[in-house]
Amino acid sequence: MQPQTKLPKVGTTIFTVMSQLAAQHGAVNLGQGFPDFPVPARLVDALTRAMQAGHNQYSPMTGVPALRQAIAAKTERCYGWRPDADAEITVTSGASEAIFDAIHAVVRAGEEVIVLDPCYDCYEPAIDLAGAKAVHVPLDPATFAPDWNAVRAAITPNTRMLMVNSPHNPSGAMFNAADMQALIDILRGTDIVLLSDEVYEHIVFDGARHESALLYPELRERAFVISSFGKTYHCTGWKIGYCIAPPALSAEFRKVHQYNTFCTFAPAQHALAEMIEQEPGHYEELGAFYQAKRDRFREQLLTTKLKPLAVPGGYFQIADYSAVSDLDDVAFCHWLTTEHGVTAIPLSPFYETPPAGQRLVRLCFAKNEATLDAAIVRLQAL
């Protein structure tokens, strides 16, 4: 029997496709966004101790209490507001699960969710599975800044949710205080729920402040704010994230979460609680750690025919390849992997309608210097 697909536009993700291609051709993989350097030693040691101490069974559905308390304290330290660890914080199996749960908690069939293109590829399938419609509003194709007038114009009586992402994947663009005020003005007086994807919250550069929705009372009272330990602690394979939301939204969120994954990897939750409390310097210094990588990689790219764009936050470098090829971005990334041994991610899969003639790719610089150096040698040959 041939089943009727619920996701007709979905195939294998571009990240899986390009990583498989990289493995087949022995390419330097700057595509999929994972670090190739170690997890902090303190965190690994804490995980081992947690397993040896017997923390190997189901955790509470909302997350290990010590971790939720640690998240609450960290949130207060970073944003000057302390969420209720019992009523407003839920630990999830990665940020992707949290995004799925948030959408399915409040979005009903026939409703609309506004997303800003380019956007991460897990957003729209979750919206589709809810029977809702993703309404795509493009960001500026050169700066990736939002057009708030266009966002306002996209709102209809069916709009249930607005999804934002800062620092932005794939571009690294960040909201500023004026953007946050525009967001407040647009949502004021509506019943629209905000989903703020903040997984790169600690990877910000050049002295900028991460403008979290949690900094603004009018936003946090209507928001699911989602973050990721994988991005902050170099452990993407652990798949642990969390959602902060007001009690009423958290209650609905947890209804979905408990029948999706119920809970997540228990010993790692204990380890992360210890890490957050005992080594706050890790997340406080993360921006400087990655800024050094960004700056070094940018200088190296300037010795190639690729043109690096500005990177305010996150650990991805957007590069213009128009001086190298007129291939579309998917074909270029395939060619770059198979013929020159470097894997990048095309931007077009992040769009409903990619800008005509756009020649941009995403490179991940969350890598060891040796990995980046090897990629540069190959890119210099273009």
Q: Which domains does the chain have, with CATH numbers?
A: 14-38+285-379 (3.90.1150.10), 41-282 (3.40.640.10)
Q: Do the beta carbons of residue 319 and residue 309 sit within 8 Å?
A: yes
At 12 the pLDDT is 86
At 9 the pLDDT is 86
| CA separation for the pair 364, 358 (Å, rounded) | 19
242: which DSSP letter?
A: E
At 229 the pLDDT is 98
Q: Which has the closest alpha carbon to 88: 62, 60, 106? A: 62
| Count of C-beta atoms within a 10 Å radius of residue 182 | 18
List the pLDDT tens digit at each of the 382 positions of the chain: 777 899 988 888 899 999 999 999 999 999 988 899 999 999 999 999 999 999 999 999 999 999 999 999 999 999 999 999 999 999 999 999 999 999 999 999 999 999 999 999 999 999 999 999 999 999 999 999 999 999 999 999 999 999 999 999 999 999 999 999 999 999 999 999 999 999 999 999 999 999 999 999 999 999 999 999 999 999 999 999 999 999 999 999 999 999 999 999 999 999 999 999 999 999 999 999 999 999 999 999 999 999 999 999 999 999 999 999 999 999 999 999 999 999 999 999 999 999 999 999 999 999 999 999 999 999 999 9
At 4 the pLDDT is 85
Global model pTM greater than 0.95: yes
Sign for the pseudo-dihedral over CA of 204, 146, 10, 358: negative
Q: Do the beta carbons of residue 315 and residue 170 sit within 8 Å?
A: no
Q: Which residue has the tokens 């609309």?
A: 112
What sections of the chain are H helices per DSSP? 14-25, 41-52, 65-79, 94-106, 123-129, 148-154, 177-187, 217-220, 229-232, 247-260, 266-278, 281-284, 286-301, 329-340, 369-379
317: which DSSP letter?
A: E
Q: Do the beta carbons of residue 65 and residue 90 sit within 8 Å?
A: no
User: What are the C-alpha distances in Å from 239 to residues 172, 232, 250, 288, 363?
Assistant: 22, 12, 20, 24, 22
Read off the tokens for 207: 């002295």
At 270 the pLDDT is 98
